[in-house]
Structure 1
């Protein structure tokens, strides 16, 4: 058999497994709470691995290695910022959010939590945050489809559109029928695959290419600053360099507002299990990020005589896996890339579905049976996927740029509101809405003005504006509410007791 046949067999096995898990989850999905949040029954290791897999996506195996391959270790500040942000998110957001969403009338989505936490009877927060989710997640899902198209184009020579639609259809099938549980279980399996691949590729590559000293010499021969984490200080003032590093590491700010990640916190069985999940999740994230960094650096050395160029830099992980492994094993490694892409897409589609059904359809006051609500949720998944596919038709789209735009949108619009909701009882509905809207607008404007976005990642001004506006408007509009005070105190008591 040819190499490609072996690889396609491995990928076919993986795809069949994903569809099988989706079917099992479908049999266990009976109502909208099951479909959207798995009835708050995720075990810590499932929540941790599914959160990591849905977070990292094709960015970890394609976007980050590609950025480091082109620019050197300086680009790793993105990973450093994300590690810090993820730890803070698990430590300070996870237990409180799990507790508070259950206390606040069993909120099962982020928009419904904002509304119920702040007693917003006008539905401004629910509608506004749902629309923000639909806008930014459509771009995020699109980035996954772009990664899928590039994956099959680089690995098997498929036309870009064929690869994009193939992955989109498989992901859509198990997400449509399996819901949140299907997405979480497949994400867990995908997280294990990603971990194995990102550890195996750099280890085998180092063994095949020689010792670390030889490898380091080859890397620096190609790019003298490739191993310099602080290379931005070389040709600029320390202020400019420090701003550049902060802007890159500021990706970590985005964690507090990513619906597809923090919804895993809400699905934990108890607030106390956030601690165990944090240990598992952060270990996974640290090792996989390290593997991605080493893979990119090894790629610099290996392709020294035949550089990949900007149009192929994001395929460095794919190419190395095919060069260093038996075709069948290489197929499993390639399946890990699909795992990264599909895990994020499925999680984001579920959140979009919940925004359409739980947060927009339900507030109309129309009555619907549990079965109809689940079917409406599936229709929402399909609708967002179709729009994202239209955006992804352009094969020249950058995975990293699409992801960074959507990441900034959520981090700036939702992050400060989530933190204030959990730690400041005087946050008002009007303050939260004004802050959220201001942050989203800043990201949209700042991110599309090149001089501004080149100087500072748009999440930074967006996050600051949201925080300031929400605080200032809340100070001016806050009115004591016994129900809010009672729920806030109950949440603090529960989290303190179970910490």
Structure 2
């Protein structure tokens, strides 16, 4: 049997398993709350790995190893910023958001939470939030579709477009039918596959390249600065990389997992599982890149055409074709887990936050779920159209969308949870300023080359939201009461100091 046949067998088994989970979840999905939030029934392990897998995407196995393979450990500052940001997000946002979304009229989406929290009767806040989600998630989903095309192109010499179509079709199938429950449980399985693969490749690779000392010597032979986190890195470059951590507070596809926890106190256990998974995965991705540098230095007759395919290449070099197929499934898992989460959140924005807000429909739950499924399909088609001509790297597309969400929602979410004087006008103004700043800054090369657009976007959003809120604040007994109840509930369920 050929190597390709072994690898295809592993991938087919993986895809069939994902579709089976989707079918199982379909039988347990009857209402919009089920479809969009699994009726707030996720346990800590599923929530943690689901958040991690949907967060990291193809960036973890393609983008980050590729960047480090080309430039060295100076690119690892992004991983440092993400780890800090993820811990802070689980610690301070997860338990209170879980509490507050239930207190604020059982909100099931980020835009509906902001509207209910701030009692915005104009609906402008909800509509603007929905538009921002649809805009940036279309680019985010597009990055996943690009990763799918690159995956099949690098692994099987298939066409880029064939890879796009296969990945998109499978993801749409289980997301469209199974909803949030299917997405969360497939993410759990995918997260497990990812972390196992990211441990196996660098561990086995170090033995193949001669041990730690010889591996390090080979890397230095390519470029002595590859093992330095400071060589060739500017202060603004470090700030830009660390600022990726700011993005966590505003990522709808991640914080929606907090809203789906069974209880607020389970955030503590979920945080420990999630950060542990993240640390192992990030070290594995970095180790894969470093082992790859050493291997290709020691074997100059072999070449790597695409640096973002270093994990794929090492998996095929180091392991039996069937095991290599599992490595390939890990990459596919990273890609598909993020696409599915993003499609579902975009669908919820279109149905719950735009369609229902604008048309004030009295549609039945069955009709709303059907509409949500159709939105998943439409967004997937649009994202695929944008990705049809690959015009940017995976990391570049992810960076733009990540900044868009972090700068648009991050400050507003934090203020909504911890500052009682935030107003609808302040939140709306801050959100729009943050989004516009990212769009403008992110499209001016001289600006993005020096400072990641999330930094000015986040800062301006925070400043504008606070200033406008101070100017427009008027005490509202309903808002005050809900804020006090949310804080009291969160403190009553709070974890011991850690």
TM over 0.5: yes
Residue matched to 2:67:
67
* Residue ranges of structure 1 left out of the alignment (5+ in a row): 234-240
Aligned pair 1:497/2:492, yes or no?
Answer: yes
Query: CA–CA distance in 2 between the matches of 1:315 and 1:198?
Result: 14
Question: What CA distance in whole angstroms lies between the structure 2 residues aligned with 1:453 and 1:307?
Answer: 35
**Equivalence for 2:341:** 347
Instruction: Work out the CA distance in 2 between the residues paired with 1:207 and 1:489.
Output: 57
Q: How many angstroms apart in 2 are the aligned matches of 1:455 and 1:276?
A: 38
Name the stretch that deviates more: 224-233 or 464-473: 224-233
Deviation of 1:208 (Å):
1.6
3-state secondary structure, aligned to 1:425: coil
Tell me what 1:149 maps to: 149
Query: Which residue is 1:215 aligned to?
Result: 215
Q: State the Cα deviation string for residues 45-74 of structure 1 (Å, max 9, x = none).
A: 000000000000000000000000000000
Residue 419 of structure 1 is matched in structure 2 by 414
Q: After TM superposition, give the deviation of residue 307 of structure 1 in Å.
A: 7.8
* 1:308 shift after superposition: 5.3
Whether the 8 Å contact between 1:101 and 1:107 is mirrored in structure 2 is: yes
Supply the distance in 2 between the matched residues of 1:174 and 1:231 (Cα, whole angstroms). Answer: 45
Q: Are the counterparts in 2 of residues 232 and 244 from structure 1 also a CA contact under 8 Å?
A: no
Cα contact 2:315–2:324 (8 A) shared by 1 = yes
Q: Residues 270-315 of structure 1: CA distance to partner in whole angstroms, max 9, x if unpaired?
A: 1110000000000000000000000001111111226856x60100
Given that residues 209 and 294 in structure 2 are in contact (C-alpha distance below 8 angstroms), is that contact kept between their aligned partners in structure 1? no
Tell me which residue corresponds to 1:303: 296
CA distance in 2, matches of 1:412, 1:317: 31
- Which position in structure 2 is the counterpart of 1:31? 31
Task: Give the alignment partner of residue 466 of structure 1, picking from 446, 449, 461.
Answer: 461
Structure 2, unpaired ranges of 5+? none
Equivalent residues in 2 for 1:75-474, closer than 5 Å: 75-232=75-232, 241-304=234-297, 305=300, 312-363=306-357, 364-474=359-469
Q: Could you tell me whether the CA contact under 8 Å between 1:149 and 1:395 is conserved in 2?
A: no
Alignment partners' CA distance in 1, 2:209 and 2:303: 18
Instruction: Give the Å deviation of 1:75.
Output: 0.1
Supply the distance in 2 between the matched residues of 1:366 and 1:54 (Cα, whole angstroms). 31
1:162-187 Cα distance to aligned partner (Å, 9 max, x none): 01100000000000000000000000
Instruction: Name the residue aligned to 2:476.
Output: 481
After TM superposition, the score normalised by the length of structure 2 is 0.98
Q: How many aligned positions are there?
A: 491
CA distance in 1, matches of 2:207, 2:217: 16
The answer on whether the counterparts of 1:215 and 1:301 sit within 8 Å (CA) in structure 2 is yes
- CA RMSD for the aligned pairs? 0.9
**In the aligned structure 2, how far is the partner of 1:142 from the partner of 1:148?**
10
Counterparts of 1:341 and 1:75 in 2: how far apart (Å)? Answer: 21
What corresponds to 1:238 in structure 2?
Answer: none
Runs of 4+ in 1 over 4 A off after TM superposition: 306-309
Kindly provide the CA deviation profile for residues 413-442 of structure 1, in whole angstroms up to 9, marking residues without a partner as x. Answer: 000000000000000000000000000000
What secondary structure is seen at the aligned counterpart in 2 of 1:427?
Answer: coil
Q: Tell me, in whole angstroms, the C-alpha distance in 2 between the residues paired with 1:453 and 1:24.
A: 45
